[in-house]
Amino acid sequence: MNEFYARERLAEVCKLLYDRNLTVSAGGNMSVRINEGEILITPSGRNKGMLEPEDMVKLNLDGEVLSEGRPSIEHRFHLALYRMNPETNAVVHCHPLNCTALAVRNEGLRCNITPEGVLLLGKVPMVPYSTPGSEELVDAVAECGWAKAMIMARHGALTQGRTLEEAYNRMEELEFQARLQLLVGNVEDLPADEIAKLEGM
């Protein structure tokens, strides 16, 4: 992806996440792959609704900073996902209220109560709590690196996608499913044969 275009798109997605109340203030971090060996990531400690394209920080997959700025403290789990998943081209981590409510309660997200949950998210693991920015958190995220979306205990949520739009859409759907779960309470999943049919689509 062209770096100038990637910077613009990442800034647009950050504003969209902020405007949709999927993240607040300086919370979260978002990144996009620009080629096989380099990514752009949001800078540390900045309000996501106020970022400009030039604010994004360029890194290689070894974590070397290649531009101005200081990358998010959590850039290492982004890099881990890019290294292990060549098809991943974007990672979105933020603190949506309903996802975080489940994360604080250590309640797993149930994605088999609607067709969209099955189709867009699949199985959503709970990443065990580790201190933000720690190597333990990097390892915990990497262990769940097969998933399209994750809930992070006491922390928030994370999605990855083949495009920035796909990663964003998964975060929006994740928050919708979390809100729905909190609203409807203990309902039955879709029938097993229907889940299998949806998974095969």
How far apart are the C-alpha atoms of 114 and 120, rounded to whole Å?
A: 10
Q: Are strands 156-161 and 90-94 parallel, antiparallel or unpaired?
A: antiparallel
Rounded mean pLDDT of the chain? Answer: 95
Q: What is residue 201's predicted lDDT score, i.e. its pLDDT?
A: 87
Q: What is residue 186's predicted lDDT score, i.e. its pLDDT?
A: 87
How far apart are the C-alpha atoms of 128 and 136, rounded to whole Å?
A: 10
Which residue, among 25, 39, 146, has the nearest Cα to 94 in the 3D structure? Answer: 25
Q: Is the whole model's pTM more than 0.75, yes or no?
A: yes
Average pLDDT of 46-72? 96
pLDDT over 90 (residue 1) = no
In whole angstroms, how far apart are CA 199 and each of 8, 98, 122, 161? 34, 25, 8, 17
87 is known as an active-site residue: no
Which residue is it, tokens 């309000």?
Answer: 47
The strand pairing partners of 91, in sequence order, are: 31, 160
Structural domains of the chain sorted by starting position, each given as residue range(s) with its CATH number in brackets: 3-199 (3.40.225.10)
Percent of the chain's residues with pLDDT above 70: 100
Question: For the range 12-20, what are the long-range contacts, defined as Cβ-Cβ under 8 Å and sequence gap of 24 or more?
Answer: 13/92, 13/164, 13/165, 13/168, 14/42, 14/48, 14/49, 14/51, 15/48, 15/49, 15/51, 16/168, 17/48, 17/92, 17/94, 17/168, 17/171, 18/47, 18/48, 18/49, 19/49, 20/172
How far apart are the C-alpha atoms of 125 and 141, rounded to whole Å?
A: 10
Q: What is residue 115's predicted lDDT score, i.e. its pLDDT?
A: 94
Q: CB of 4 within 8 A of CB of 53?
A: yes
How far apart are the C-alpha atoms of 161 and 79, rounded to whole Å?
A: 14
How far apart are the C-alpha atoms of 112 and 108, rounded to whole Å?
A: 12
Q: Which two tokens stand for residue 120?
A: 């867009």
Catalytic residue among 12, 74, 107, 165: 74
